[in-house]
Structure 1
């Protein structure tokens, strides 16, 4: 046993110092890579899809919905229009930019680069978007309203007042009053219209209003004054937001509990750098001392340094595990007042952040552990000093054996590996299931997306992204843009004069100019449109990239069957379309049979029935539930189009309260809600539900419900 000497004591102290300093350096490196790194927080947010979940889970939560309804109650726009356009009012890129800005402020504060902490959000872009949306909506209200002649000036003035009130309240006028006016009457009517505006804005608009009234152009009158009217009405709701936020800049310091952030600030801003620098310097000194006090025997000094570093790495790993076990896994305690969607998001973000911090810390521990092990191994190898001849004696047999094993692997592994099971729609069990016994997640008004900037969108991502997310049924609407002459033709049987019909056509042409071709629109193409053939071509490309998927299109057709067939041919889909049996009661093939045939695109129409053999009227083959529900508790299973007793069953599962309701989608798209209604309707109709049609497929878990239906059948 080596006697206790000053040299030995110094070696022990140097070893302990090296181990402790390795721990400190590893922990400090972890903190720099996580706590004071902007990239760390951004990575956690992206990893948990936080920005998508904000719209799909948090803003549709019942508690959050109540706040949204209160804030938006004063807008001259139906609630459903604002909530369905929430990604236009508050774009994801804006949320991401604002979040990254606040992350930069927090990290700068923790590093000591910014003091004091300033967390404020500029609300002006959001407030401007709300006002713009209200004005766009008000323009749509009057875009295609027909004129109606009035018997006298008093009746004209009364109806003009009613029209203004409708626009101000966010309602579409029943019609526009029309009456040839004298110059005196036009001036009087202009005064009547301008009285609804703030006094300081009247003179700027007076000339345009008087000229339009003199020409009988009520559409131009409304187009002139509506933005000003709506801006005033919108001001009250925008003022609520400003009051809540404390101005155009929302200071988050007053809304968030930042006590913990302020508590660690002194350590991260000043202490972290100093501690890391001191620990690194002491580590170098300790390693030098170990080398100098170590045994001069060959390999002993590298082994001593290696054991010190490896021990420090092992101590760091044990420290990380202990902190994780005793820390409770929570950085922020949950609050019962928060919306459940927000609570789940915060919990998931915390879990991911802690997991990533743990991985980073263990990675920091692994560096000295591996380096120490290699250094110690080198020292041991120097001590053993195997003869070169002994080492080389094993090279040839080892190489020969490795080559033989590799050759055997090339021959035997492919023979032994089992072939991958066949999958249809992602499931082995669905290949032998008939088409009419499979449930398909179906996107209602699939083309009406936020991405394509539809006014009042009913889906968020593009159609092909919906397919990537598990949608296998698409409800789409085909249209042609109305031309002014088509609108005028509808007026030929009216009592309007030729001059009045020309005036109406000119107004419509100016407000809603036509565009040639075939389009996917929702009700009116001016509220959003995408070209039909290019979109069909993209669907075909997706199907060819996914050769084991069966897709169904249910077309609300405002174009002819011949035009539809031509569009499918131009899009190159004729080799994919499936032709149903002429007898709607006949059995359907299995998904596997449809996939094997290559004919796996089923296309139905709401109106047409041909002429292409593959283009059949849905209601010959299928039945549905009603589709106009104002509230979730009104949803029923009573027969609607298609009657009863059909082999295919479409479940219309969405709320249409003045348009789609993003808020209600958070409730009705919940997995249990979908399953309960499907069970109720299947018992009532005696047939399995095939198409579960929902708005906002990314909200809730309708896909999980459909997967459960297919698994349990």
Structure 2
């Protein structure tokens, strides 16, 4: 194990040691937070010192973060007069998932952007759903990685519909990149949501996750399903270094693989592969779930607009491609069919913002990275618009993808010829 991976634990030890050196005779008021200050890594903590530790009835420094307050100490003199002061105590200054405000929030109380079919960023392939690779996605702020999996020659592969149409490589190779990023970013929490398109045993996924070095990061829930109040806070997950929640849509078995969560036992989704630009907020998967159950679980808005092209190819069943030329509007902060409006509508309908905002080509919108602005608004935090997106400049999606439908039809036609030849 590298020294870097031990850093949070070493920092935690330092914080506990430093705490032990403070006064042992003072009477301390309890701190009404989910985590004690002594449980936060030293790198998450920054001391706030009263300007005069001996003044009468001194007030604590303003708390600008979600953990840590000054401890009140009361001293009784021989003439029965008392003075109170506030000893220096650490307050959080290290962001969790980019924001200090998130550290004390539950995992179920943060809205995150999900890259739909994250690995499918293959240039000149109409079956792609992203323009930028996974490391760029994560660096830009993507915290949900969603994709489908297939089996090819006994290996779990990242393919879109069919490995002859788009094959983005093995799951193991993809996870190796994610594992390296997690090691370099010890204060980030992410989710991985996999589609079991081959309907294989959940134990099939143990090998690629193990070989990629992901197992130490995987969160193991204490219950087979969780409501909104049963999730840990981000800081708790960071302290335990269990910073990855992995879900499988079908055939998960948590008795056999405890870290591979049954997705629809923990969250639900709005209509999948939407073609309706109004993006309904109704619950679709799992089917027939009572509203009271849905209101107490995390949920995802599928905000990736598709166009059905099967009518253009006689004899072919339903086939969808992303609405490329509408990405600027679909991923926008405001306007008809925008992600911003969709989040507002779902928040109004369900009484809270969605946990997951699933999008195609996340880097496009009314400005590059506008999807992150929407998430920030849902989370009531600020977003820096110049922090996205990779090496992509200010190209408008409409211009970039103006010829994609033609290319897509050609690719689909070529694929069908291959299948039926």
TM-score class, shorter: 0.5 to 0.7
Match of 1:616 in 2: 261
Match of 1:638 in 2: 282
Matches within 5 A, 1:47-66: none
Structure 1 segments of 4 or more deviating over 3 A?
Answer: none
Note if contact 1:632-1:664 (Cα within 8 Å) is conserved in structure 2.
no
Match of 1:527 in 2: 165
Residue of structure 2 aligned with 1:656, choices 306, 327, 333 = 306
Residue of structure 1 aligned with 2:212, choices 556, 571, 576 = 571
Note if contact 2:148-2:159 (Cα within 8 Å) is conserved in structure 1.
yes
Partners of 2:91 and 2:219 in 1: CA distance? 29
Note if contact 1:442-1:475 (Cα within 8 Å) is conserved in structure 2.
yes
Tell me by how many angstroms 1:631 deviates.
Answer: 4.2
Cα RMSD, aligned residues only: 2.1
Match of 2:341 in 1: 676
Match of 1:469 in 2: 140
**Structure 2 unaligned blocks of 5 or more:** 1-89, 308-319, 383-421
Tell me by how many angstroms 1:460 deviates.
Answer: 0.5
Match of 1:704 in 2: 373
Note if contact 2:150-2:157 (Cα within 8 Å) is conserved in structure 1.
yes
The answer on 1:547 being equivalent to 2:189 is no
Tell me by how many angstroms 1:608 deviates.
Answer: 2.4
Partners of 2:378 and 2:372 in 1: CA distance? 10
Tell me by how many angstroms 1:526 deviates.
Answer: 0.8
Give per-residue Cα distances to partners, 1:211-266, cap 9 Å, x unaligned: xxxxxxxxxxxxxxxxxxxxxxxxxxxxxxxxxxxxxxxxxxxxxxxxxxxxxxxx
Matches within 5 A, 1:176-575: 421-451=93-123, 454-481=125-152, 515-529=153-167, 530-557=169-196, 558=198, 559-575=200-216
Match of 1:693 in 2: 358
Give per-residue Cα distances to partners, 1:357-381, cap 9 Å, x unaligned: xxxxxxxxxxxxxxxxxxxxxxxxx
Secondary structure of 1:575's counterpart equals helix
Secondary structure of 1:432's counterpart equals coil
Match of 1:584 in 2: 226
Secondary structure of 1:636's counterpart equals coil
**Structure 1 unaligned blocks of 5 or more:** 1-417, 482-514
Give per-residue Cα distances to partners, 1:500-543, cap 9 Å, x unaligned: xxxxxxxxxxxxxxx45220111101112111111111110011
Tell me by how many angstroms 1:598 deviates.
Answer: 0.1
Match of 2:408 in 1: none
Note if contact 1:460-1:696 (Cα within 8 Å) is conserved in structure 2.
yes
Partners of 1:699 and 1:660 in 2: CA distance? 13
Match of 1:159 in 2: none
Q: State how many pairs are aligned.
A: 262
Note if contact 1:609-1:615 (Cα within 8 Å) is conserved in structure 2.
yes
* Structure label with greater radius of gyration: 1
Note if contact 1:649-1:687 (Cα within 8 Å) is conserved in structure 2.
no
Tell me by how many angstroms 1:712 deviates.
Answer: 5.5
Tell me by how many angstroms 1:419 deviates.
Answer: 8.7
Partners of 1:420 and 1:584 in 2: CA distance? 28
Q: What TM-score results when the alignment is normalised by the length of structure 2?
A: 0.59
